[in-house]
Structure 1
């Protein structure tokens, strides 16, 4: 079994989830980290077990022992840093979103394919067992043809959350409730229901002092012919679990947080899962469990060992970015926007 050398670019709070995942996998080793702040890089390296550290991430990319690089910086830097990772010949794991613009996301995807490199996007909710069971039920036709899908992220974030870092809530570096928080549910929606063909959306900043939206909503038409709705917000005090509701010709399923709250599937008993005390991040994004990051990392290494495409590929990450970008365009123009990519 190949031993994989990892690097992490960005030593903020989300990087700790990547570190925990890497250090809990037998054939993975964290070799080095990089941050613009030399002090932060050194502190993170010390906490990680004295791995190497740099204040210039390009030095990390020159390390011959690093095979794969996690990009955990601000969202607006994902494209440029991800581009340099791939140009350096390293496999890339990029925190959501893959990029802030669909064209940039597609550029990363095409570059990775042309260079024979793995490009994957963190979407750890796919690895929750309840989500996996629902995905399998849909794929097996247990719900029949999907007719309607509802995806919601009714979160709450304080003004202090946005004021904590100057990039938070900006269009260029963070995005709003759709691109930052809602993208997880949007990814699940597209993964289970298939690609969207058009969307009509509205966004607004209702409660926070910030540049990007704190609330967004959309009506979606899917390539399959199904319809759906999206909502994402950070004003829903005190914060509620994200949800995904699937209505098919033969039955319906409702996911709320990490629980199946409705299972109406003819001939199929409701699956049983042990209750979980893990937070869904509805009011604090750092209270989620690192378990599903680990599961995504493990699945990624397994696919690489077998020469297969990665879970949550760059192309899939690009689909979510394209849909969100189309919602923004629709809100600004007042028009329904046609989507072209299906990957």
Structure 2
């Protein structure tokens, strides 16, 4: 199955590696308007290089799947162009920056009979997989509340690296850029959000979009929750944490990235079983890279004519939650007060 990559920035390297390690997948082309990035690509892959997606599609008609790896604000335009050319899609997060663009993409994929997946690789982390299985078995009983916390550092120098960073039109802020994986995990693990009350602000960074956001939520199952996301933590990333509390136990998956079981208490599990579970995760907290899992699943999904494990609708659901937290795009931000 022939793959191409649109956008050759940092994240493209993960796609290149994932495609190379996936049986039945071959990278045949890449495109980027930046000549220096194309030159870098020529040093690490034999794939043909093109200055834009239109030229790539014209010159490489046998491409089956396009990986969209450009800045967030370009995802919709490039994905629509690829879909209209009949190509399946692997979309980096966030899938789009607006629900209007998401609807256009949804229609294009449906009308073309295409498969589309969104890169939310954190679903494949071993600790997250164990938590998902425990929730499906109802091991924690009726849930009282959940938390998703992203307390990271992105310095002003980080935002100043590229003109698009921190902009509403091209980046989307801490919710769309850094916390979007947590928003996906929250709904994948615990179910849809029914009610939300949020405050977002631009407190420390000189950017258009928010650098800190907090929300209180109610899930459809009745459980309450808190979402906290920030790029304002001093000096370095502090934590990424997923917590769940129920009538029969609780679990906290955390660390600088949510890869480790920090707490796991379950009424139906013995101490020995709990310790064995924690040791199992600690032996390999990262598991198979999520990008590889997603590429492998896309190959199978296209061959089997089924929806990928992470669907386009999953990606749109995470975007909708981010937009709900910012007022659907109105963004009445508290700026540097």
TM-score normalized with structure 2 length:
0.90
Provide closer, same or farther for how the CA distance between residues 148 and 331 of structure 1 changes in structure 2, counting only shifts above 3 A. farther
Q: Is the 8 A contact 1:146 1:193 kept in 2?
A: no
Q: Give the superposition deviation at 1:274.
A: 4.9
1:156: which partner in 2? Answer: 153
C-alpha distance in structure 2 between counterparts of 1:79 and 1:331, whole Å: 16
Q: List per-residue Cα deviations over 1:162-207 (Å, max 9, x = no partner).
A: 0000000001000111110011111100100111112111111111
Measured against aligned partners, the alpha-carbon deviations of 1:131-154 in whole angstroms (never above 9, x if no partner) come to 011011101211123221100100
The equivalent position to 1:231 in structure 2, one of 228, 233, 236, is 228
Whether the 8 Å CA contact 1:5–1:65 is kept in 2: the answer is yes
**What is the deviation of 1:59?**
1.8
Distance in 2 (alpha carbons) for counterparts of 1:142 and 1:106: 37
* Cα-to-partner distance string for 1:106-148 (whole Å, 9 max, x where unaligned): 3312321232111111000001111011011101211123221
Distance 1:311 1:85, change over 3 A: same
Alpha-carbon deviation of 1:65?
2.1
Corresponding residue of 1:187: 184
Give the match for residue 335 of structure 2.
none
Q: Is the 8 A contact 1:38 1:54 kept in 2?
A: no
Q: Cα gap change, 1:330/1:315 in structure 2, threshold over 3 Å: closer, same or farther?
A: closer
Unaligned runs of 5+ in 2: 333-337
2:127/2:285 contact within 8 Å kept: no
Residue 261 of structure 1 is matched in structure 2 by: 262
Query: Aligned to 2:227, what secondary structure does the other structure show?
Result: strand
RMSD between aligned residues: 2.0
Number of the residue aligned with 1:283:
none
What is the rounded CA distance, in whole Å, between the counterparts of 1:136 and 1:290 in structure 2?
18
Deviation sequence 1:43-83 (CA, Å, 0-9, x none): 313321x2101102112223222100000001011111111
Q: Distance in 1 between matches of 2:190 and 2:107?
A: 24
Q: Alignment partner of 2:327: what SS? A: helix
Q: Does 1:59 align with 2:59?
A: no
Give the stretch that moved more between structures: 204-213 or 301-310.
Answer: 301-310
* Aligned pair partner of 1:273 in 250, 257, 280: 280
Indicate yes or no: 2:115 matched with 1:114. no
Give 2:16's match in structure 1, choosing from 16, 19, 22: 19
Q: Which of residues 165, 170, 174 in structure 1 aligns to 2:171?
A: 174
User: Do the aligned partners of 1:21 and 1:290 also contact (CA within 8 Å) in 2?
Assistant: no
How far apart are the structure 1 equivalents of 2:61 and 2:210? 42
CA apart distance, 1:240: 1.4
The 3 A distance-change label for structure 1 pair 306 and 146 is: farther
Inter-CA distance 278–133: structure 2 relative to 1 (3 Å threshold):
closer
Question: How far apart in 2 are the matches of 1:26 and 1:333?
Answer: 44
Alignment length (residue pairs): 321
CA shift in 2, pair 1:113/1:19, >3 Å: same
Could you say which residue in structure 1 is the equivalent of 2:291? 293
- 1:333 positional shift: 8.1
1:317 aligns with 2:320: no
Give the corresponding residue for 1:339: none
Give the counterpart of 2:28 among 26, 31, 41.
31
Q: What's the TM-score once normalised by structure 1's chain length?
A: 0.89
Q: Does residue 10 of the first structure (1) align with residue 7 of the second (2)?
A: yes
Structure 1, gaps ≥5 residues long: 280-288, 335-343
Give the Cα–Cα distance (whole angstroms) in 1 for the partners of residues 141 and 298 of structure 2.
30
8 Å CA contact 2:125–2:285 kept in 1: the answer is: no
Once the 2 structures are TM-superposed, how far is the Cα of residue 278 of structure 1 from its aligned partner?
A: 7.9
How far 1:290 sits from its partner (Å)?
8.1
Using the alignment, how far apart are the partners of 2:329 and 2:302 within structure 1? 40
